[in-house]
Amino acid sequence: MFRLDNKIAVVTGGGSGIGRAIAITFAKQGAAVNILELNISSAADVVKEINAAGGKAFAHACNVSLQNEVIEVFDQIGPVDVLINNAGIANIGKVETTSEADFDKVMQVNVKGVYNCIYAAIPQLRKSNGGSIINMASIAAHVGLPDRFAYSTAKGAVMAMTLSVAKDYIGEHIRCNSISPARVHTPFVDGFLKNNYPGQEVEMFEKLSKTQPIGRMAQPEEVAALALYLCSDEAAFITGCDYPIDGGFIKLNN
């Protein structure tokens, strides 16, 4: 079950964190994985790891906020079966402490980047007679989080895009769903703690972990497992849905 043999997958932001875990998991399950990354060296490292394990993967330098670059890469890849819109950036601040430049940057990557990749992927998915798109949303699209104005706005847009695409392309066998993680233990989290709480990393990590009712952060591989299911043939009846993976954050935080 949950095999992706002979499937061509595209994973944006696949050089680290959740994207890396998805790329490795999909390759283990038989997919040929194309990693789109702004940081091409990190993508190359993941490709090397996948190929060394007997999988098949390719790295592509790409800024997802630039449509011409995205279209060019998808034209090079050709027909695809799976698109994982994972690339994104974070931002801290409420509306009055979010500069116009920061707001625009978040929208360019987290919203326009998703649009650009879907725009370029649809013709290639048609060539494969359909497929699956997964957009990485967030619990920030469901609940109010402090100091996450621009990020929450962007993730809300991603959820809305997911529904729109699912509706528009259901007749062409193109499914579109989203995943909404709570905190996931990635190198980004470690870097954030190091930069913002030097000397207090352990204490702050524990504090952030306990904001999930389950008592810990998710592991990237757990998000990857959910993405694998949603892109597999076993999930062929699922489209237009968002899947929180949040350790009970949305429903159990009272």
Question: DSSP letter string over 122-157?
Answer: HHHHHHTT-EEEEEE--GGGTS--TTBHHHHHHHHH
163 and 198, same domain (yes or no): no
Mean pLDDT of 211-232: 97
CATH number of the CATH domain containing 73: 3.40.50.720
- b/e burial code for range 220-247 (CB count within 10 A of at least 16 → b): bebbbbbbbebbbeebeeebeebbbbbb
Output the pLDDT for position 29: 98
Q: For the whole model, what pTM was predicted?
A: 0.96
Is residue 49 in some structural domain? yes
**Token duo for residue 176:** 């579109």
Output the pLDDT for position 254: 66
Give the count of domains, the chain: 2
Single out the catalytic residue among 115, 119, 151, 243: 151
Is residue 253 in some structural domain? no
- Report the percent of the chain where pLDDT is more than 70: 100
The predicted-structure confidence for 159-177, as pLDDT tens digits, reads as follows 999 999 999 999 999 999 9
| Short-list 228, 189, 203, 181, CA closest to 33 | 228
Is residue 3 in some structural domain? no
Could you tell me whether strands 82-85 and 242-245 are parallel, antiparallel, or unpaired per DSSP bridges? unpaired
Is residue 254 in some structural domain? no
Say if residue 103's pLDDT is above 80: yes
Is residue 101 in some structural domain? yes
Output the pLDDT for position 128: 98
Is residue 250 in some structural domain? no
31 and 105, same domain (yes or no): yes
Is residue 2 in some structural domain? no
Given a contact cutoff of 8 angstroms between Cβ atoms, the answer to whether 36 and 85 are in contact is no
25 and 143, same domain (yes or no): yes
Q: Flag the least confident range among 3-7, 21-25, 119-123, 197-201.
A: 197-201
For residue 169, indicate whether it is catalytic.
Answer: no
Given a contact cutoff of 8 angstroms between Cβ atoms, the answer to whether 179 and 242 are in contact is yes
43 and 165, same domain (yes or no): yes
195 and 143, same domain (yes or no): no
Backbone angles phi, psi at 53, to 5 degrees: -90, 5
208 and 126, same domain (yes or no): no
Is residue 203 in some structural domain? yes
**Mean pLDDT score of the chain:** 97
Mean pLDDT of 186-202: 91
Mean pLDDT of 67-90: 98
Mean pLDDT of 216-229: 98
Say if residue 227's pLDDT is above 70: yes
190 and 178, same domain (yes or no): no
20 and 129, same domain (yes or no): yes
Say if residue 217's pLDDT is above 70: yes
235 and 154, same domain (yes or no): yes
147 and 206, same domain (yes or no): no
The predicted-structure confidence for 50-72, as pLDDT tens digits, reads as follows 999 999 999 999 999 999 999 99
43 and 163, same domain (yes or no): yes
Query: How far is 14 from 180, CA to CA, in rounded Å?
Result: 17
210 and 230, same domain (yes or no): no
Output the pLDDT for position 253: 86
**Token duo for residue 85:** 């819109």
Output the pLDDT for position 121: 98
Domain residues for 87?
8-182+219-245
